[in-house]
């Protein structure tokens, strides 16, 4: 991308090039459920998240997130969960109307493997997006 004239340092990121911040919520089927595009590259991810309508709706529980669903071939249900870097959001299990924070990775958690797999889906979503231009 090329930064608008007379504003280069706003778009200059910590890696040394011009960029925009893309904040998304993706599902397991590689679909964008929410996207916030356009914050300048000099803005940190946490600041973009903290100023987003998504964060406000998440905290106010107005996102209409799905309830837990039964596991195929089992009587147990599995809640949906949202992951994010620790700078953005602590891993949170979304179960019906309750938002229950879990332990962070540094404290140890049984969600480490599913969290890693979910992050891989997010990376794949961005890879698919980048390859489609």
**Ranges assigned E (strand) in the chain:** 20-26, 32-40, 69-70, 77-78, 80-82, 92-95, 98-101
Amino acid 46: pLDDT: 83
Which residue, among 86, 63, 81, 78, has the nearest Cα to 118 in the 3D structure? 81
- Rounded CA-CA distance 18/22 in Å is 13
- Looking at residue 87, its pLDDT comes to 65
pLDDT of amino acid 76: 85
pLDDT digits (tens, 9 = 90+) for 50-77: 888 988 888 888 887 778 888 888 888 8
The whole-number pLDDT of residue 31 equals: 87
* β-strand partners of 107: none
The predicted pLDDT at position 5 comes to 75
Residues of the chain scoring pLDDT < 70 = 1-2, 8, 85-115
Quote the longest CA-to-CA distance of the chain.
Answer: 61
Q: List the chain domain ranges.
A: 8-131
CA distance 90 to 98: 15
């Amino acid at each position: 991308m090329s930064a608008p004239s007379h504003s280069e340092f706003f778009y200059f990121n910590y890696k040394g090039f011009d960029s925009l911040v893309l904040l998304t919520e993706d599902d397991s089927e590689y679909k964008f459920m929410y996207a916030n595009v356009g914050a300048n590259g000099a803005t940190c991810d946490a600041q973009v998240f903290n100023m987003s309508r998504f964060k406000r709706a998440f905290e106010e529980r107005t996102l209409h997130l799905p309830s837990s669903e039964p596991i195929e071939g089992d009587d147990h249900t599995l809640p949906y969960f949202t992951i994010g870097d620790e700078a953005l959001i602590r891993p949170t299990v979304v179960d019906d109307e309750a938002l229950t924070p879990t332990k962070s990775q540094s404290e140890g958690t049984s969600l480490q493997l599913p969290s890693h797999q979910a992050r891989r889906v997010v990376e794949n979503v961005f890879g698919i997006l980048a390859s489609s231009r």
